[in-house]
A and B are shown apart, each in its own frame.
Chain A
Amino acid sequence: MVRIKNMVNEFKQGFSDYFLNINVIINILLLSLVYLSGVGLTTLLSRLLKKKFINSKTKRKTYWNNLNLKKEELNRYYRQF
């Protein structure tokens, strides 16, 4: 009886590991596709248009940026952006 139980448990574990691996592979494939098509193409376009997303090379008198972050209306805090 114990042997059968162990066998079932091992089978379950193996099955779960198998699907976990499949899950990882699918994730990698899908994310790679998104990365190459979504991020890659947008990058290409932005480079053609000379658009910069992270402003790291500007020469400035100061690196402080104005923020003026203070209390806003309540409904703005419901937003995640």
Chain B
Amino acid sequence: MYILGISCYYHDASAALIRDGKIVAAAQEERFSRIKHDMSFPINAVNFCLKSLNITANDLDYIGFYEKPLIKFERILFQHLSFFPLTYKTFLKTMPSWINQKLRIITNIKKNLEYKGDILFIQHHLSHAASCFFVSPFEKAAIVTIDGVGEWTTTSYGKGINNQINLLQEIKFPSSLGLLYSAITAFLGFKVNNSEYKIMGLSSYGNKNKKSNPYYNYLKKAIKIKKDGSFKLDLKYFKFHYSDKMFSKKLCDLLKTKPRNPNRPLSRHHKDIAAALQMIYEDVFFKILNHVYEKTLCSNLSLAGGCALNSVANGKIIRKSPFKKIWIQPAAGDGGASLGVAYFIYNSILNHKRNYVQDTCFFGPEFSTGQVHEFLDKNKIHYSKFKNKNELLKKTAELIYDNNIVAWFQGKMEWGPRALGSRSILANPLNPEAKDILNNKVKHRESFRPFAPVVCKEDAAEYFECDEPLPNPADFMLMVYPIKKKIQKILPSVTHVDGTGRLQSVSRKSNPLFYDLLREFEKLSGIPILINTSFNIRGEPIVCTPYDAYRCMMGTGIDYLIIENFLVKREDNLQDKW
């Protein structure tokens, strides 16, 4: 049985294909279209999914869509009715896409895919819930979903038992933790629906003392929080409910400062505002988790929705809540909802037993040695070929140890926003200048943002003050933990200003080649840790094809590209051609 899940028309369009309850292929449209957070119909992602099994759309048993468009449209109309005439501009801006695309989803799917079968529509937060429960290792779990907004729901919780989910309670739009985070992201001069994680990183630089950080108390006036974690935003400080702007002038008055111009440097108070926001997020988040535990009495927690990518809060769940085990969908945002809808159809609606645990995220396109060889030859690229895997690992470890920036392109592309060892840029964490080199040569990103360490799973506790046993979401770079004090000095490039690191753990089972590379690096350096950052440049999606990879290398200061069995040195090739 084949089921295809689709999410699109808001942000992060994606497609996921499951066969008899197992993930076959899944990818975000942005990787193919090269438009970051591409929201258009994921035709390339769908074609990739179908091609990976050599089937056509009419071989599918069902297609599932990740939300109920008419309920969402009702919410949009109610916003217009509630805030007339302030919504005039947004009405003109958004209605054409609703009329041409969003309300014609059945026609669009059938036309784009030449599909004649059934299309099912699952509520947005139910799709999120399914994406983090049905593929989790838990038979029974509490489920929490938090994001900007779905149809009406912004936060929900419930319980999953075997192949059924029951979402018990919700918080409705316009009260939304995701939108609060986005509003402050905009206030601090960053891009909404893109840079929220940067604010999370920035928060570590701010004052984390609730008493002495004035912005914590100011910002708390914008949100009423109950003991049970439920909350309500004071709408006078926001504009997102009637405009394409996120915050009102009253928020500036509340915070006693102007919004930051994106071109101006970050000041002390910007960092304190970010810290205040993160503290408020965590206040609400942990109150919600405690409430959910009281209501469900499950010690397992499954988490999804865009806010589940807040790895700083995730790293504190075991310590600060009654939950003992957690699982988070690596594609926790809207991209992952396509997977959720496919699983909801298979497990819940069709009542099939669960038979799969997602312990990896490599579901994207892959390129064989032959395909890569052909690409290199066709484009007259100078390269050398490794004789075997050992040579590849040894040479790569040496290059990294010699402080080169190495791009690593191996196997199937990752599912979700993180590069986890298929499309990664690797560097030596022992080099105190690695962060600056990576920023100057490749990433050109904000200097305050840390780089992530990747570590062999069984060694994580030696270097990080992490939960033991290490929760599975750490495999997907979803947990931030303090780095042990004595290690911080050794690994300055991956140690954030507050002494933490967003680690990725790797087991031999999940990614043998990447694991062996860490071990090979350990032979040279004494530590099984590398810097792992996504293989892209600022503003572009992570690379997908050999062409994207080579183009990215030639357009940046990446020294070497290890692509399947081949080694490409940037200096050996003509740069101006690319």
Contact = CB atoms under 8 A, between A and B. Distances in A.
Contact of B81 (A53, A63, A71): A53
A70 B91 contact: no
Main secondary structure of the interface of B (DSSP, over half): mixed
Contacts of B79: 53-54
Contacts of B106: 80
Interface string A49-69: 000111110000111111111
A80 B121 contact: yes
B91 A39 contact: yes
Residue of B119, B167, B172, B174 most packed against chain A (CB within 10 A): B172
Interface in A21-76: 27-28, 31-32, 34-35, 39-40, 42-43, 46, 52-56, 61-71, 74
B525 interface: no
Contacts of B166: 68-70
A79 interface: yes
Contacts of A74: 349
Contacts of A80: 68-71, 105-106, 121
A35 B93 CA distance: 12
Contact of A78 (B96, B118, B168): B118
Interface stretch (B11-19, B228-236, B534-542): B228-236
B164 interface: yes
Contacts of B84: 39-40, 43
Nearest to B173: A54
Contact of B85 (A27, A40, A61, A62): A40
Contacts of B153: 67
A63 B91 contact: no
Nearest to A70: B166
A61 to B, nearest CB: 7
Contacts of A66: 168-169
Contacts of B226: 61-63
Interface in B276-307: 291
Contacts of B349: 71, 74, 77
A80 B103 CA distance: 9
Contacts of B105: 80
B95 interface: yes
Contacts of B348: 71
A56 to B, nearest CB: 6
Nearest to A55: B172
Interface string B157-183: 010000011111111111100000000
Contact of B241 (A27, A39, A54, A79): A54
Residue of A28, A62, A77, A79 most packed against chain B (CB within 10 A): A77
B69 A67 contact: no
Contacts of A68: 166-168
B255 interface: no
Nearest to A42: B81
Nearest to B103: A80
A67 B168 contact: yes
A11 B169 CA distance: 59
Contacts of A79: 68, 70, 121
Contacts of B175: 56, 63
B518 interface: no
Contact of A81 (B68, B96, B173, B228): B68
Contacts of B71: 80-81
Nearest to B129: A69
Given A64-B170, A69-B158, A80-B121, A56 B235 contact: yes
Contacts of A53: 78-79, 81-82
B174 A62 contact: no
B3 interface: no
A67 B74 CA distance: 18
Contact of B92 (A31, A62, A67): A31
Interface in B86-102: 87-88, 91-92, 95-96
Residue of A53, A68, A69 most packed against chain B (CB within 10 A): A69
Contact of A46 (B81, B96, B158): B81
Interface in B22-77: 68-71, 74, 77
Contact of B170 (A34, A46, A55, A67): A67
Nearest to A24: B96
A63 B68 contact: no
Contacts of A35: 80, 88, 91-92
B123 interface: yes
A33 B56 CA distance: 44
B120 interface: yes
A62 to B, nearest CB: 5
Interface string B224-253: 101010111001000001000000000000
A46 B80 CA distance: 12
Contact of A71 (B119, B164, B174, B235): B164
A65 B170 contact: yes
B454 interface: no
A64 B169 contact: yes
Nearest to A53: B78
Interface of A: 27-28, 31-32, 34-35, 39-40, 42-43, 46, 52-56, 61-71, 74, 77-81
Q: Which 6 pairs from chain A and chain B are nearest by CB?
A: A63-B230, A53-B78, A81-B70, A77-B120, A43-B84, A69-B167
Given A54-B174, A69-B126, 20 more contacts: A31-B96, A39-B84, A40-B84, A43-B84, A53-B82, A56-B232, A63-B175, A63-B230, A64-B170, A66-B168, A67-B167, A68-B166, A68-B167, A70-B164, A78-B118, A78-B119, A79-B70, A80-B105, A80-B106, A80-B121
13 contacts: A31-B91, A39-B77, A53-B78, A53-B82, A54-B241, A56-B174, A61-B226, A63-B230, A69-B125, A69-B126, A71-B348, A78-B121, A81-B70
